[in-house]
Amino acid sequence: GADALELNMSCPHGMGEKGMGLACGQNPDYVEDICRWVKKVAVRKGPDGEMESVPVFAKLTPNITDIVDIAKRAKAGGADGVTAIN
């Protein structure tokens, strides 16, 4: 399984006119919901055979007025951290 997941919410090529890519990364509700949905299913079998959580990082868009609010909403949705570089 994956060691971690990065949710790219900053992609300018993600059909923004349909609410995808950076468009979802500009909406605090979407960011929180997406992080929550992914974190809920982001598990893998650990070395001992037990299921363990996979870290989830939200890749934030710089095309936003208040990136702090978006980062807080990612955290509220269960993200283990954020990335803020393209």
Tokens standing for residue 61: 């868009």
Specify whether 11 is catalytic: yes
Tokens standing for residue 54: 């996979």
Distance separating alpha carbons of residues 18 and 54, to the nearest angstrom = 29
State the amino acid at position 61 in one-letter form.
T
Of residues 5, 11, 38, 54, which has the active-site annotation? 11
What residues are annotated to the active site? Answer: 11
